[in-house]
Structure formats: structure tokens, C-alpha cells
Amino acid sequence: MPIVTDSQRSATRTQVRQAITQQKRHLPSIALSVTLLIAVTFTLLTLFSLLARIVTQAIPAFSERGASFLSGTIGSEPDKVGIWPGLFGSFAIGIGVLLIAVPLGIGAAIYLEEYAEQNRLNRFVVVNIRNLAGVPAVIYGVLGLIIFVGWLKPVTNGGTVVAAALTLAILVLPVVIITSMEAIRAVPMGLRDAGYGVGASRWEVTRDHVVPYAMPGILTGTVLALARALGEAAPLIMIGAITGLLPETSLSGKFTAIPMLIYSWSGRPDSSGGNIGWSNAAAGAGLVLLALVLVFNIIGIFLRNHFEAKRVGT
Amino acid sequence: MKFKNWALVATCAIALPLAACGGSDSASTPDSTESSSNGDGGSVFVTGSSTVEPISIKVGELAGTDDGGNIKVTVEGPGTGDGFKKFCAGDGDITGASRPIKEEEAIQCADAGIEYVELAVAIDGLTVATSVNNTAIECLDKAALYALIGPESEGFSSWADANTLAGELGSAYALPDAPLSIFGPGEESGTYDSFVEFAFKSIAGDRGTEVIARADYTASPNDNVIVDGIESADTSLGWVGYAYYRAETDRMKAIAIANDEGVCVLPTDETIADGSYSFSRTLYIYVNKAKAVENPAIGTFVDLYLSAAGVEQVVAAGYVQLEAAKQQSSVDAWTARG
Amino acid sequence: MNGLLAVADLSGDPRRRAHDRRMQRLLGSSAFITIIISALILFVLARGSIDFLKSIGWDLGVLRDSSKAPGWFPRRERFDLITIVMGSVLMGSIAMLVAVPLGLGTAVYLSEFAPTRVRKILKPIVEVLAGIPSVIVGYFALKFIAPNIVDPIFSPDQSRNMVVAGLAIGVLVIPIMASISEDALRAVPSSLREASYGIGARKSTTTIRIVLPAAVSGIVAAFIIATSRAIGETMVAAMAGGRDGSGPRVLDPLEPGLTMTAAMTNAAGGTDQVNSGAPFQVLFFVGLLLFMMTMGLNVIGDRFVQRVRQQY
């Protein structure tokens, strides 16, 4: 038997608290707590109603169409359209981002954290990357329109998914660099010193110790960048994605992507008495996009939390 | 071991963009001969007017079926003017237009050595509309419309503000003292071009003003927004394509247009087809001749467009089919393309 | 071979050193690509802007033309910049009115009040909100905020207006506001809080009088960076803002309006071949202006973030 029981302990606690707070409820404290709780509730409510609206509107598209909503093509009737061309475009963009932005971004981050001296030029590079991360997406669209659709037409064949992938890869490059830099910076110095101590070159230390240690953090950045690229529509408007009819999908032809379909479909009139209207089709495409993006985000957040927890242990 | 693999992946990945660019390069090369070799029935690319786009989409959907020849038709609708710019730069097999080609556009095409066939495919009536609650207005003439929406009407916020100008122009209609809120498509739209031409051209010509609408109206590229606007205000005024009006008859009321004899004509399928309703226009497609020779799919698609099945799509898209004689002259022009 | 080490031996295998230098060059070039990207952005925007200014004959009066009724009608050669700048500022302000209380409130709760268990759940939820694509928020604005919130409360003339777009942009920037402010709040050393509790201050007093003032530069940074994001947001403004370029009415937020970003998408119009004439070239001019505005805000915001880092 413990000398002091739990009930005694909590009674004492209450007594002490009452003594300290003079048994009065402090109004400003309550007001602050209530205000904060309202803010948090509103934030959660917004997220909840957004998800609920998308899901409830999307249900008809999936329950009545099933898999054909995923495999069909875009067209003129909301109860017959499918999002296949959008899926193709978005996947191609995702792969393009993985192939271009991820290696470039990790390479740049390694250079800036491991090799670059603290001089004016390198500081400028870092400041510039931070600025690039804040440039609005629509401006990257202008860049893509002129460079990848115009100047590099022999490579991209004009307004194709290749041009879109290159544009979005450039858009997310700063995100990849910044998150990778943070991951690499978090690697303990001792790890590097140990490597140098046994005579390894800088590249060998980076390759064998720093990058592997930082990998979870780098992966988080990669996954978040991918999610961002899949959700962007503004640059695609500038490049010229198709929303009319697109029966064939190829790397060198016209293209569309899921966010463009949501953009186009949600603006179409919705009064044709059928079971599935344009807002249902748009919500269906939205649900697919949300699922993709949220899965990527959750993987990213999970990886980061896992990584943080592990580091606390070391 | 695991660490080594990561590093390997990272280093390989750095070299990959080059390979990726090279890959896409080679992928684009065979594309220049794309059309006829690709798929079953070949592919066609249609650009141009967003008004013609719904018809092209419907005919394109039909062309994609076994009956239609399994042709892969890609359709976009950036607008008539933008469509001609692309078409005359050699991009696009077919462009849709809600008005005939302009002289300067024809010159651009000629300079680029692009020959084309012009084919009328449908008629679109413009509907001038107001709220269903507006009982004061049943019919308007061009003079009243010029006074309400024309270039000299900027700042008028009540229908009655336009009375002086309308009277000056010989309008037979007295306008009520009620708030005036105007909704219509923006200048990028063919529906805007047609409206100012139908409603203002003759009067603007006499008065030496520009053939444009006032700037202070609510312009939207989205017809649904225009319909929303017309519905929302009791004494609204706006104009949309007849197709949109017919789909939304319960949300707005068409205003009859007085013809030159002063007879009010409401837009209906009949009055538009026989031309007695004056605010109607012909929709066209322009076909690139050289590309049609190179790529038989274009021919098959245009054949379908002009066939009875194609005309059904015109109606399904909400437009009015051409009179038999006009339809036949399109077919003749297409057959005689040489 | 007398067993002594020469200096040359200590410098390592020349092949390995050469490989190290090659890797340094390769990695360095990927870092410098970002400079090229910035240069290209500036070049493309500046070149287009010069073309635009040439085609209006360097007459800057065109950009603030008071002789005609103001408004943004590029195809009618009316380029009243104030119309679209006001559109951006109005929608951005409405967005910040939403994002500051909700974002900051969430941040304070997460950092100061939430029990660890709640925080562990809440924080990822806020991050999920941050990951939601802007087209989806645009859809939410059209199909929920407009019909279920703005229409019943304000009954505007048109369901697409600046309040709807502003509220939705606010939803989009709540997570930015929340996460940067939370970082700033958590950067405040716990010794400050403990000192405050030690002299008998309540939690509310400590939060308001000690923690918030100590984190103020980070909160300012959050505000500035969120504002920059709100002004740069394109899809929500284009989908829900009404895209109306007529000028005099933009001061009423319940009217439809046009932001700089939406004006840019209008000019491009989804076509890739039409690149001629002032109505198209103005796209670059607006882009340059937007670039300058957001970059200015980001640079200032970043300064404040650095200040937090240096303080603690």
C-alpha cells in the first residue's frame, strides 16, 4: 500500500491550486483558452468540411461509374467522362519531377552543405534559392511557356507533358534543395569527423555517411515536392493543357493533368438533370488528386516524425 | 550495404536528367509523321472557337467509336481569334470559328502558305436575356440596345438613363427607371464579337463610334457565370449563346429583338434557322487542305462532321442546324476542295 | 622505403582526390543551376515587359489612364494597373483576415497549450491542410464557401466574388501562418517561460506578455510570407474571384474582381501559339510586377526569420 493514495494526491493538488489562484477563475485565462480553442476548431472544421464536400460530391462519380471513371477519357458529358488522360499527365509529371528535380536538388543541397565555402557567392546562391521557393507558380508557368514550349520546342515538341514536367520540376526544385539542406545540416559533425579521421575523402564521407544518415529527411522533402507538383494547375494553364477532348496520351502530344480537369469541370454548368453532374465529376477528380497528394504528404510526415524520434534517441 | 545503395541511387539520379531529356527528344522525332501511322484511324487536332468546341467534341466522340472510324480527335477551344493564329501558323488540322476569317488573319494564313476550306456547320443564335421576374421588358430594338450597352452608355446605372440616347437614335421603346446590371462574355469571346456586330455595327458606323460594348459591364469567359448574373438581379440585362439560353430557360427570359420593320422576334429554333431572328450567326470550321491530303483521318472526320450523324451532334450541342440548302453547299465545298 | 611517412602520403590517393574534385564540380553545377533559373525568370519577364512597353510606345500613362473609365481590358488596350493591383490587395487582405487569427491561434495553442498527445495529432492535421492543392480549395470555394457561407450571409449579386475567393485563399494560407508562427513560438527558450512562472505569472499572462513578444519577429515573418503567398495565389482567384476587370467597382469586395495572377492566366488563355501584341505581352509586365512584389515580401520575411534564429 502506498502511503499517499491517488485520491489523496489529487485532492491535495486541487487544494494547492485553489490556494495559489485564490479560488477565483481568472477571466483573461479563460478568454485566451476559449479564443485559441475556437481558432483551432475553425481550422479543423474548415479541413473537415472541405474533405466532406469533396467526398460527398465524388460519391456519385465513383458509385455509378466505378473503375470506368478512372479509365475513361474526357469529353462532353459529365456522366460519361473519365480521368485517364489526367492520370497519365500527372504521373508523367511526377516521374519528370523525380528524374530532374530530385537529383538536382539533392546534389545542390550536398554542395551547399558539404562543399561550399562561406563566401559571398555561396551565400547569394542560398538566398536566391529561398527566393525561388517563394515565386508564385503562375510565374513558373510563364517561364515554361517561353522556354520549354517556345525555345526548347525541338526537345519538348511544344506544349506537351514533357514541357509541363520540366516546368514543374523547376518549380519544386527549391523545395527539394531546402528540405535536403536541412536534413544534411542535422547530421552530427562527429559522423563526418570520424570519416575524415580514417582518411576518407570529402566525397566518400558524404556518400557513405552523411547522405545515408540524412536520407529520411531528404525523402521527406522529395515526397512533399512531388505532392506539390501533382497539385499545381496554374503553370499548366500557361503551358496550355487540353480540357476539351483528348483520346490519346503520349509524351510528345497534347496533354492534360488532373488539376486542370478539376479547374475546367468545376466551372461548367450543372443543370443537366443526370445523376452525375460536372461538379460530381470535378469532385471525383478532386478526390483522386487529394488521395494521391495526401498519401504522399502522410508518407512524408511519417518519415519525418520517425526520423525525428530516432534522432532524439541518439 | 544499405548506405552504399542509397549513394548509388543518388549518383545515378544526378546523371539521369540528361538521359531523360535525350529520351524525350527521340520520342518527339517520330511524331512529325504522327497522324496517319498512329492508332487505328489516325488522329486529328481541332482548335479554335470555344463556341464551336462543344460540336467538335461531340463529333470527335462519335469519330472515336468503331462506327466513326476510330479516329483520335483532340479538341481545345481557346477562342476564334487565338484559333486562327495557331491555324495560320500551321498548328492544328482544323480550327473552329464563330465568324468568318478576318482579312488580316487570311493574310497571315496566305503568308504561311496555308490553304484552307471554309465550311459552315451550324447556326448559333444570340439570346438577349433578362431575369424571369422582369415583366417590364418584352422586346427591344437595336437603338435601345446601343443606348443600353453600346460604347456611349458607360456609366448608365439605370435603364432610364439610356432613354435620351435611345430616343435620339429613334428607338420605339421607353425604358423603365430600374437598376441596370449587365452581364455578358468578355472580348476574348466570339459571342462578344457577334453581339457588338449584330447590335451596334450599323449605329456605330453612323455615329462614328467604335464597335464595342461599354467597359463597365460584368464580363465573364464562363457562360455559367453570365447565366448566374442574369438570374440574380431582377432587372438584369445580358446576352449568351442560344444554346446556353435553351438549357436554362427556367432561369432567364429571352427578350425579343425588333427587326428592321419593327416586328418583335423571339429566338426559337425556327426563327434562327430561317434567319428571321436577326441576332444569329453561322458557325464554321476551317480545314487545312495540305494536312487533309497528308492525313486521311482529317477527311474522314470532316465527312462525319457534315453527315447526318454530324448534324445530330450540332443539335445535341445545343445549336441550330443549317437549312438543307446551306448544309448542301458546305458538303459541296468540301467535296470540291481539290 | 625507410618507413617514414612523406607529406605526399598524407594527402591521399591522387585518383581519389581527383574523383572528389569531379564530384564537387558536378554537385556545384547543380547548385548554380538555381542562379540560371532566376536569371532566366528575370530575363523572360524583362524582355516581355520591354516588348510590351515598346508596343504601347513607352507611354506609362496608359497604365493609369483616367481619360477613359478605368478597368483591365487588355484586348481593348486598357491597362489600368490599379484595377488588378487592387484586386490582388483586396483578396489578399480578406485572406489575411482569415489566416491571421486562425493560423496564429492554432500556432499558440499547439506550442503553448496543447498536451503532447493532442499536439501529436493536431500538428499532422495542420500539415495535411498545407498539402491540399489550390484547385481543390478553388472547388471548395465554388461549391461550399459561395453557396453555403457567403450567399446566405451577404447575398451578393454574383456568387463568384472577391469575398469568396479571399476567404478561400485565407484557408490556403492558414497552415503557412500557423507553421512559421509555431516555429517562432517554440524557438522561445523555456527558461523565459519558467522565469515567468517562477514569479507567479499565469499561463495566459506568460503567453501574452512573455512568449508572444519574444516571438514577434517570427510572427511578423509568418505574416509577410503568408501575404506573399496570398498575393501569388492563382487558381482560387481565377476560379472563384469572378475574373472581372471593370475597375470602379473593385472597392466593393462583394463584386467580382480580377487579381494580377488571374489577369495573367486570362492573357495566356490556355494557348501556346498566340504570343504577339500588347494584350499578350502585358502578361510579362504583370508577371514582373508580381515577381518584384512577392520577392520583396519574401526577402523582408526571411530577414525576420533570420532574426529569430540569431536571437536564440
Per-residue pLDDT of chain B (338 residues; tens, 9 = 90+): 344 444 434 433 433 333 333 333 333 333 333 333 344 678 899 988 878 888 999 999 888 888 878 888 999 887 788 888 889 988 889 999 988 888 888 998 999 999 999 999 998 888 999 999 888 888 998 889 999 998 888 888 899 998 888 888 888 888 888 899 999 887 666 678 778 888 888 888 788 777 778 877 887 767 777 888 898 888 999 998 887 788 788 889 999 998 888 889 999 888 888 878 888 888 999 999 899 999 999 989 999 999 888 888 888 887 888 888 888 988 888 988 86
Within-domain flag for C17? no
Q: What is the pLDDT of residues C80-92, one digit of tens each?
A: 888 888 889 999 9
On the question of pLDDT at C79 being above 90, the answer is no
Kindly state whether residues B179 and B300 are assigned to the same domain. no
Q: Is the CB of C269 less than 8 angstroms away from the CB of B232? A: no
Q: What is the pLDDT of residue B37?
A: 38
Smallest Cα distance from B129 to chain A, Å: 17
B282: part of which helix (H) or strand (E)?
strand B280-288
- pLDDT: is B72 or A301 the higher one? B72
Question: Measuring CA to CA, how many Å separate B78 from each of A36, A83, B86, C73?
Answer: 48, 21, 10, 17
A113 inside domain: yes
Is B150 in the same domain as B175?
A: yes
Interchain pair A266, C142: CB under 8 A: yes
State residue C37's pLDDT score. Answer: 94
Phi and psi based region of residue A205 (left: phi greater than 0; alpha: psi -120 to 50; beta: remaining)? alpha
Q: Please report whether residue B199 resides in a domain.
A: yes
pLDDT digits (tens, 9 = 90+) for A212-227: 888 888 888 888 888 8
Residue of A nearest to B60 (CA): A245
State the DSSP string of C129-192.
HHHS-HHHHHHHIIIIIIIIIIHHHH--SSSS-HHHHHHHHHHHHHHHHHHHHHHHHHHS-HHH
Question: How many Å apart are CA A106 and CA A178, to the nearest integer?
Answer: 9
Mean pLDDT calculated for residue range C70-80: 73
Is B31 inside a domain boundary? no
The region that residue B70 occupies, defined by phi over 0 for left and psi between -120 and 50 for alpha, beta otherwise, is: left
Element (H, E) at B75: strand B72-75
Identify which of C41, A99, A84, C294 has the alpha carbon closest to the alpha carbon of residue B13.
A99
Q: Does C124 touch chain A (CB under 8 A)?
A: yes
Cα-trace Rg, chain A: 26
How many angstroms separate the most distant Cα atoms in chain A?
85
* Among candidates A76, A160, A251 on the partner chain, residue whose Cβ is nearest the Cβ of B54: A76
Same domain, B219 and B176: yes
Question: Is A153 within a domain?
Answer: yes
Q: What is the mean pLDDT of residues C136-140?
A: 94
Query: Is residue A78 within 8 Å of residue A274, measured between CB atoms?
Result: yes
Residue B300, in any domain of the structure: yes
Looking at the structure, tell me whether residues B256 and B132 fall in a common domain.
yes
Q: Is residue A30 part of a domain?
A: no
- At residue A170 the predicted structure's pLDDT band, cuts being 50, 70 and 90, is very high
Q: C67 vs chain A: nearest CA distance in angstroms? A: 31
d(CA A262, CA C21): 48
Smallest CA–CA distance from B91 into chain C, residue: C273
In-domain check, residue A140: yes
Counting Cα atoms < 13 Å in the Cβ hemisphere of A18 gives 7
Which structural domain, as residue segments, surrounds residue A294? 68-313
Task: Tell me which of A125, A139, A173 to substitute to probe the interface with C (most C C-beta atoms closer than 10 Å).
Answer: A139
Q: How many residue contacts between A and C have a Cβ separation below 8 Å?
A: 280
Contacts of C118 in chain A (CB under 8 A): none
Chain B positions touching C242 (Cβ under 8 A) are: 218, 220, 225
B30 CA to chain A: closest CA distance, Å? 9
Closest CA of chain C from A133, distance in Å: 9
pLDDT of residue A274: 63
Residues of C in contact with A228 (CB under 8 A): 131
Distance of residue A5 Cα from the nearest chain C Cα, in angstroms = 25
Residue A27 covered by a domain: no
Q: How far apart are CA B300 and CA B310, in angstroms?
A: 12
- Would you say residue C34 lies in a domain? no
By residue range, what is the domain housing residue B159?
Answer: 125-280
C-chain residue closest to A256, CA distance: C270
Residue A220's pLDDT is what? 81
Task: Name the residue among B74, B227, B248 with its Cβ closest to that of A247.
Answer: B74
Helix (H/G/I), strand (E/B), else coil: B24 = helix
Query: Is residue A168 pLDDT above 50, yes or no?
Result: yes
Distance to chain A for C62, nearest Cα, Å:
23
Asked if C212 and C108 touch (Cβ cutoff 8 Å), the reply is yes
Binning pLDDT at 50, 70 and 90, where does residue C67 land? low
CB pairs A-B closer than 8 Å = 126
**Tens digit of each residue's pLDDT (9 = 90 or more) over A106-144:** 999 999 988 888 888 888 898 899 889 989 999 999 999
Q: Give percent of chain A with pLDDT exceeding 70.
A: 92
Give the chain B residue nearest A161 (alpha carbons).
B24
3-state secondary structure of B73: strand
Is position B50 within any domain? yes
Calculate how close chain C gets to B154, using CA atoms only, in Å: 8
Name which of B85, B215, B221 is nearest C273 (Cβ-Cβ).
Answer: B85
CB contact under 8 A, C274 and B85: yes
CATH code, domain with C176: 1.10.3720.10
Separation CA B24–CA B246 (nearest Å) = 46
Would you call B326 exposed, middle or buried from its count of C-beta atoms within 10 A (0-12, 13-18, 19+)? middle
User: Which residues does chain C have within 8 Å of residue A158's beta carbon, measured at their own beta carbons?
Assistant: 272
**Among the ranges given (A286-300, B227-241, C268-282), the one the predictor scored with the smallest mean pLDDT:** C268-282
The C-side interface with B (CB below 8 A) comprises 26-27, 30, 68-69, 71, 73, 75-76, 78, 157-160, 242-249, 256, 266, 269-271, 273-274, 276
Residues of B whose CB is below 8 A from C256: 218, 220
Total tally of structural domains belonging to chain A: 1
Give the residue from B296, B291, B260 showing the smallest Cα distance to B275. Answer: B260
Q: Least CA distance to A158: which residue of chain B? A: B28
- Residue C110 to residue C178: CA distance in whole angstroms: 9
**Any idea what the CATH number is for the domain that residue B237 is in?**
3.40.190.10
Nearest residue of chain A to residue B47 (CA atoms):
A244
Question: Which residues of C are less than 8 Å from A279 in CB distance?
Answer: 143
Per-residue pLDDT reduced to its tens digit, A236-266: 988 888 888 888 888 888 889 999 999 988 8
Specify the number of domains making up chain B. 2
B15 lies in some domain: no
Residue carrying C-alpha cell 523555456: C190
Q: Decide if A289 contacts A265 (C-beta within 8 A).
A: no
> Closest Cα partner for C244 from B130, A233, B184, B49?
B184
Range among A86-100, C65-79, C255-269 with highest mean pLDDT value? A86-100
Residue C14 lies in a domain: no
The answer to whether residues B136 and B270 belong to one domain is yes
The closest CB to that of C158, out of B79, B91, B228, belongs to B228
Contacts of A293 in chain C (CB under 8 A): 131-133
Q: What is the mean pLDDT of residues A27-37?
A: 86
Answer whether residue B17 is part of any domain: no
* B78, B86, B216 ranked by CB distance to C246: nearest: B216
A262 vs C165: CA distance, rounded Å? 16
Please check whether residue B60 lies inside any domain of the structure.
yes
End-of-domain residue from the set B261, B280, B299? B280
Query: HSE-up of A142 (CA within 13 Å, CB side)?
Result: 35
Residues B148 and B212 in one domain: yes
| Residues A242, B60: C-beta atoms closer than 8 Å | no
Q: Is C226 on the interface with A (CB under 8 A)?
A: no
* Residue A300's CATH number: 1.10.3720.10
Arithmetic mean of pLDDT, C282-302: 90
- A77 domain-assigned: yes
Please give the interface size between B and C, counted as residue pairs whose CB atoms are below 8 Å apart: 77
What Å distances lie between residue A55 and A58, A275, A293, C124, CA to CA?
Answer: 5, 16, 15, 20
Task: For residue B184, list chain C residues with Cβ-Cβ distance below 8 A.
Answer: none
Section C202-227 average pLDDT: 90
Residue C107, pLDDT > 90, answer yes
H-state helical runs in chain A:
6-20, 27-65, 68-71, 84-110, 120-133, 137-143, 153-156, 161-185, 189-197, 202-205, 211-231, 234-239, 258-265, 278-313
Count of domains observed in chain C? 1
Query: With 0-12 CB in 10 A as exposed, 13-18 as middle and 19+ as buried, what is C133?
Result: buried
Q: Provide the shortest C-alpha distance from residue C153 to chain B (in Å).
A: 15
Q: Any chain C CB within 8 A of the CB of B167?
A: no
Suggest the residue from C22, C65, C274, C280 to mutate for an interface test with chain B (most B CBs closer than 10 A). Answer: C274
- Domain limits at C77? 61-311
Is A38 in contact with C232 (Cβ distance < 8 A)? Answer: no
B118 and B52: one domain?
yes
Whether residue A88 lies inside any domain: the answer is: yes
A259 vs chain C: nearest CA distance in angstroms? 6
Q: Are B329 and B94 in contact (CB under 8 A)?
A: no
| Residue B301, CA atoms < 13 Å, CB-side half-sphere | 37
A307 pLDDT tier (thresholds 50, 70, 90): low
Asked if residue C161 is part of any domain, the answer here is yes
Contacts 24+ apart (CB under 8 A), C144-151: C144/A49, C144/A50, C144/A53, C145/C240, C146/C240
Mean pLDDT of chain C: 84
CB-based contact C294 A135, cutoff 8 Å? yes
Residues B215 and B108 in one domain: no
The reply to whether A2 falls in a domain is: no
Could you tell me which residues are beta bridge partners of residue B122?
B283
Residue C112: what are its φ and ψ, rounded to 5°?
-105, -35
pLDDT value for A62: 86
Q: Is residue A13 pLDDT above 70, yes or no?
A: yes
Are C286 and C84 contacting, i.e. CB atoms less than 8 angstroms apart? Answer: yes
Q: Do the chains contact at B219 and C245, CB–CB below 8 Å?
A: yes
What ipTM was predicted for this assembly? 0.88
Hey, are the CB atoms on A233 and C127 less than 8 Å from each other? no
Report yes or no on B43 lying in a domain.
yes
Question: Does residue B144 share a domain with residue B129?
Answer: yes
Dist CA C231 CA C96 (whole Å): 10
C26 touches chain A (CB under 8 A): yes
Check CB contact under 8 Å for B24 and A215: no
